[in-house]
Chain A
Amino acid sequence: MGNSKLYKGSLNTIILKLLEESDKMYGYEITQKVKEITKGELNITEGALYPALHKLEAEGLLDVEMQKVDNRLRKYYKLTEKGTTETANRLSELEEYIRTMQTIINPNWSIN
């Protein structure tokens, strides 16, 4: 994985974006999805993922649903109405940030 400190600030937005694209997800599924999309470049640890999920839940951006799956309980997360609105805001903030960084690092490059 690259510099984890650079990814850390965007972890909540990454989680919100993934949940926006699916109905509901559980913790391990999120880590696997991120790994798959980034081709193994980004590996989210349990120590980073669950505190982030719990924070988003406490902020009212995520709702939880418990299900019994294969001899154990599974906690699913899904976006609340507030979470859906917040996802759009955070994604546009992140895009704006990437654009600004690009103009500093490589003025000739654009993400459109």
Chain B
Amino acid sequence: MTDSVAMGEGVSADAVGRTGPGWSDLGALCLTFFALGVTVNVLVLERVGSESLTVVAAIAINSATTELAYVAVRDAGGTQLAAVIAGWVVASRFGLLAVSLGARLRVGHWHRAAAGLQSFDPNVAFAIQQRSARDVVRVFWRVTAAMHVGWLSGIAVGVFLGNVIGDAQRFGLDAVFPAALLAIIGNLLRRRSGALAAAVGGGLCLVLIPIAPAGVPIIASLIGAVVALAVTSGDPT
């Protein structure tokens, strides 16, 4: 845990403050998930043709990347089985994020289960950068709430007004999610260990995208974390 505690230091006016995200950060996250909700649900609705199924899928699966992966494999002519497996595989990162979050949570079982089911990149990344166990929980749910306000209104707009908006890509909405992720892990990248993990993980993914089955490049990026752990084990924490 020493690594994450030390991470609070050196944080100044940028995205992640010691006391957690401010209102402008939460607003931006809300907008980000709104954009994601619109884009994903326009795509899914086009393919399933049922508004109710699109809404239930978005809320029950609770993972835009899983939906995107499933749709991508089906569009490429993959079987149902291949598409489902791809959807599961890309969601494995939520399991890993839940591990990171779980290691910092000091709460009861039901609370843990609820937090685990809501593990996403932004809320876990913001939460684990907090110093105290109390702040981890507080920041986690605050960011989760902001994300869901955006995601749920994005679903509504995508499903019921999708044909009015037209091509969401015209507004650069597809760049919103990766840019938000980069801003969120920005502080992790300022440390040698974090930068190395990201460089190896991202590099492996880049190399594997053209040759490995969908989803595998993201799983393989785990190796980046292991390499960084081994190489920087002597670093001050």
Do the two chains bind? no
